[in-house]
Each structure stands twice: as C-alpha cells, then as structure tokens.
C-alpha cells in the first residue's frame, strides 16, 4: 500500500499509523491479562484468554456461515456474555453489529431487520417469539436465527444454537481489523417515538475514542469491575463493554435490573462502576431492607438519560456511591459531556452539592465542542439564563443516519450536531438541560421547564417518580400536568401535590392537574412522555 507524504516529506506507514478500533483493546488484553477474569455471569467466569478464544470462534463461525465484511449481524439479547462477545466477534469478522432493543414491538423489529439488511440475528430464547413474528412481517430476505440459550433456559430445538455456532469456529482464527478507522463498527436504531427509527452508524475511531473518554471521565484505574445495568443494546452499553479490556477490567452481567441484583453484585463481585438512568438510582434509594447488602467501598456511577432531580442525588450518594452526571445521545456514542467535579466545589454540601452534580457539564475528553446555540446557530451568552439548543461536534459524533441523507444533513446543519435538547450554559461553560424542545410547556406565553417542575415534585416525601407534560388549555394554551408514582405505604392527594409545588414555584409553573399512576418507561428507564401527553389531552 502506498502512503502519501506531507509537506515534510514524511508520510503514514504501518510503522507509525494503525487505524483506531476497540478490537485492539481485547487483542491486547488477551495477551497481557490472559488469566484475569474478563466476564462474570452466574456460574460463568471467563478469563481474558477464554473470552478472546470465544470471540475468535464467533468471528470465524459467522464467516463460515457466509457473513462478509460490511454485512450486518443483529442481536436480540439481554445483558449476558453472548451480547458482550458479539461486540467484539461481529466486528472481528469485518461485519457491522446491530444490537436491537428487546422491548420493541414486532413491526418495528421487522423494519430494523429489513432496513439494516441483517443476515443473521443472535437471539435469546426468551425473544424467539419476537424475532419469529418480526420475520413473518418482513418483506425481502430474512435473517437466519441463531438461538442463544442462557442459564435457566432450554433450547427450543428449532434453530442452530450459539454454542454450536462457536463450536464450528476456530479459537485461533485471525481477526479482520479495519483498514480504515472510518469503517462502520455498529448501527443503533433510535427510539422512533415520532416515526420510524433512524439507524445511527458508529465508526471504529469514534468507538475507540469513546472508550478512552469514558475511562478518563470515570477516573478509572486498572482492573475496574463494571456492572452492565445500561442495556448493551443502548448505544452499545455506552461503549463500556469495549472499554473494559483496555483497563483489564471485569464485566459483570446483569440480566434483570433490580435493586437486589445490583446490591448483590456490589457485595459479591466488588463492583466498582456502573451506569444507569435516574430511575435506577431511585430504585436503589427505595430498596427494601431485605434487598440491601453492605459494602465497604465507594461505587462510581454514571447517570444519564434524563436530568436527575437534585433530591435523588442527595439521597443516593450517602448510600455509598459517587455520582457523575453525563449527557449524550445515541448519535454521540452515549455519554459525550460530563459534570466534571471541580476541587473548589469540595466544600459544597446538601442541596448545593446536589445542584452542582445535576448539571450536564462540559465536553468529555474526546469531544471537540459542546455549546448552546440560538435558532440561528450562534452561541448564546454563558449567563445561565439564555435558552438554546445543545450542539456538539467532534469524534464522538456518529457518521450519520443509515440510508437517510436528508435527516443526516438536518442533524449536521451548520457543521454541528443538533441535539434537540434545550439548555442554558453557565459562565464556567457547564451545560444544564432545561428540557427537550418538544417538552417545553408554553403557558400564557411563558416558558415552563418540565425538568424544573419535576425537580420540585421529587422533593415531596411521598413521590417515588414523576413526569410533567403539557395539557392543552383553552385559556392559557397549555398548562403543566403532573403524573406521579407514589412510594409504597404513602398517601398523598392532588391538593397536597399542588400545594407543595405552589410553595416552591411561580403560579404559572405549578401543575394544574395531577394524575397518580405508574409511568410508562423505556428499557433504559426513560419515561415515555409522548404516552403521557396523549393521556393529558383526554383529561
């Protein structure tokens, strides 16, 4: 291969330039951390040597089944070892990984199969009915199902099993490393709450840099123990599965996200890090005594997915956790900004500390920029008052939307990725989200931040979880409507909630209606406000 020289007469060559890819993390770990524990799940404990051999078997097994470089291999899997192995084994045969949300409906899964052109789907036994129904609804070539039989399940007998596929592979097979770091490593489909989901394409370079950004932001040292609470189908688990081999770390799988499972993993496996939405923090706070376990170390937690109420942060950290608020989207490989803690904040306590930690922060190490822009694309003043849209650019931004040039062009308008999130920017550069653009409530011409109202609601001792949306109103245009989940054993009325809010908020920001019900949530714990808006219209 020829290499072009620059103005100095020097150029790239294999001695000084290798395309960046997270595959290199595992290849290195297999060599230097061979005997260390790489993956834990129930009775399964894989060393790095065993992990690497299984990845090689998967890569070569897929190739023998006809998977070529550039082909798409999908998964319908929970957080189990096969999902972690797919993160390395699929790209190690040159293919593109498509991890699909297991909570989607069959019609959406059918669309994703067809739009991405998946050739094979690795499917957990529990999700075979979903995969089969999706295939029945497809037009065009359907993917071949490979059944992954997890602990406690029995093979259906209808499909080649994952372990049989691995048995066909070669534990010493060489990996297909990218010749160009811009090559695609994964495609992730957005939630698609307002239409068909869009395919967000990641490249090897971005995935590699995301792994290093996460390690820096989390202040990781060698040999962390990471618990997979974030679904590995969501932004590839925020890229943390690719991070662990770089640090010689242990990936502890968690199939069912419960307070007991998390406390058990911390106590039994020495978990040092995990990520999760604020609802996960809330679950830990409200765990029953029988679900809790004692542990003697501080666990580092990344939280994202929605701005966590200050009250949640204030209650969570004393349990033995240090929380870092991060922010990002599927389009930014997961976390892209972090609420980096400053030494001169060390004296902050209570609510003031929680308020600082609830900000979305500054660009992570591998992101070139994160700003708040006005409708014309110009940065708003950093005065903690002017509202605008969060815009980002750099290597932690997707390649674009697969087979959707119009949406890609719109997202990258003006040379920045447009997030759709509304925020202010403090004088120190720290971002703080006030709302999604679609979630701002305009009441009597005044903007009401649903996030601000939710923060006040969460301070009520009876409130377990809440969400605020706009309800159409003949007089004011829109008014805030609160949906509330109440803690077990607590009793509260609509009048109580409204009085509590009125004591802390301007009148126009106070909810005019309160609905007590369980809130609809995504697989990652995000509250599905589009469903609540539909309910509010009928009240």
CA 515/CA 523 separation, integer angstroms: 23
Task: Name the residue among 301, 306, 329 with its Cα closest to residue 317.
Answer: 301
pLDDT one-digit tens code per residue, 165-198: 999 999 999 999 999 999 999 999 986 545 688 9
Q: Does domain 257-398+418-437 correspond to CATH entry 3.40.50.12780?
A: yes
Task: Quickly list H helices, 254-362.
Answer: 259-269, 278-285, 310-316, 350-357
pLDDT one-digit tens code per residue, 12-71: 899 999 999 999 999 999 999 999 999 999 999 999 999 999 999 999 999 999 999 999
The structural domains of the chain, with segments of one domain joined by +, span 48-203, 257-398+418-437, 440-538
Same fold, 48-203 and 440-538: no
Looking at domain 48-203, its CATH class is: alpha beta
Between 12-16, 450-454, 473-477, the lowest mean confidence (pLDDT) is in 473-477
Which pLDDT does position 439 carry in this prediction?
82
φ, ψ (nearest 5 deg) of residue 125? -50, -40
pLDDT one-digit tens code per residue, 201-260: 999 999 999 999 999 999 999 999 999 999 999 999 999 999 999 999 999 999 999 999
Looking at domain 440-538, its CATH class is: alpha beta
Could you please report the per-residue DSSP string of 441-492?
EEETTEEE-HHHHHHHHTTSTTEEEEEEEEEEETTTEEEEEEEEEEPTT---
CA 389/CA 467 separation, integer angstroms: 21
């Amino acid at each position: 291969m020829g290499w072009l020289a620059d103005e100095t007469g020097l150029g790239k060559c294999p001695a000084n330039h290798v395309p960046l890819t997270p595959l290199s993390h595992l290849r290195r770990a297999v060599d230097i951390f061979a005997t260390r524990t790489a993956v834990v799940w129930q009775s399964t404990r894989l060393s790095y040597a065993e992990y690497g051999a299984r990845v090689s078997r998967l890569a070569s097994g897929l190739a023998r089944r006809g998977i070529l470089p550039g082909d798409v291999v999908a998964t319908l899997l929970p957080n189990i070892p096969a999902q972690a192995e797919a993160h390395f084994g699929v790209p190690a045969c040159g293919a593109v990984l498509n991890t699909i949300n297991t909570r989607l409906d069959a019609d959406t899964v059918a669309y994703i199969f067809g739009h991405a052109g998946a050739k094979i789907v690795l499917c957990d036994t529990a999700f075979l009915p979903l995969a089969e129904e999706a295939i029945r609804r497809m037009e065009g070539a359907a993917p071949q199902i490979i059944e992954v039989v997890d602990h406690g399940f029995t093979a259906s007998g209808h499909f080649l099993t994952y372990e049989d596929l691995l048995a066909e592979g070669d534990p010493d097979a060489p990996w297909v490393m990218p010749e160009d770091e811009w090559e695609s490593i994964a495609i992730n489909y957005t939630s698609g709450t307002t239409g068909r989901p869009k395919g967000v394409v990641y490249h090897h370079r971005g995935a590699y840099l995301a792994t290093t950004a996460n390690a820096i932001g989390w202040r990781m040292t060698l040999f962390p123990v990471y618990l997979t609470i974030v679904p590995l189908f969501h932004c590839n688990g925020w890229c943390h599965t690719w991070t662990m081999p770089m640090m010689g770390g242990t990936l502890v799988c968690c199939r069912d996200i419960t307070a007991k499972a998390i406390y058990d993993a911390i106590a039994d496996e020495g978990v040092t890090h995990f990520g999760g939405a604020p609802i996960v923090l809330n679950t830990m706070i409200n765990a029953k005594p029988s679900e809790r376990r004692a542990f003697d170390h501080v666990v580092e937690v990344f939280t994202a997915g929605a701005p966590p109420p200050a009250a949640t942060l204030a209650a969570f950290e004393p349990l033995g956790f240090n929380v870092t608020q991060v922010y990002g989207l599927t389009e930014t490989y997961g976390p892209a900004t972090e609420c980096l803690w400053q030494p001169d904040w060390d004296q902050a306590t209570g609510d003031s500390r929680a308020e600082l930690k609830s900000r979305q922060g500054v660009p992570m190490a591998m992101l070139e920029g994160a700003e708040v822009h006005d409708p014309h694309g110009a940065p708003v003043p950093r005065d903690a008052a002017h509202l605008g849209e969060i815009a980002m650019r750099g290597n932690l931004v997707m390649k674009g939307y697969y087979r959707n040039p119009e949406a890609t062009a719109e997202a990258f308008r003006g040379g920045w990725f447009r997030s759709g999130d509304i925020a202010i920017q403090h004088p120190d550069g720290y971002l703080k989200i006030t709302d999604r653009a679609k979630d701002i409530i305009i009441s009597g011409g005044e903007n009401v931040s649903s996030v601000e109202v939710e923060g006040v609601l969460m301070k009520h001792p009876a409130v377990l979880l809440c969400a605020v949306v706009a309800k159409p109103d003949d007089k004011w245009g829109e008014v805030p409507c609160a949906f509330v989940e109440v803690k077990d054993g607590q009793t509260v009325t609509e009048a109580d909630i409204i009085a509590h809010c009125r004591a802390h908020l301007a009148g126009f920001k106070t909810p005019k209606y309160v609905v007590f019900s369980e809130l609809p949530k995504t697989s990652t714990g995000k509250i599905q406000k589009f469903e609540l808006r539909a309910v509010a219209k009928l009240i």
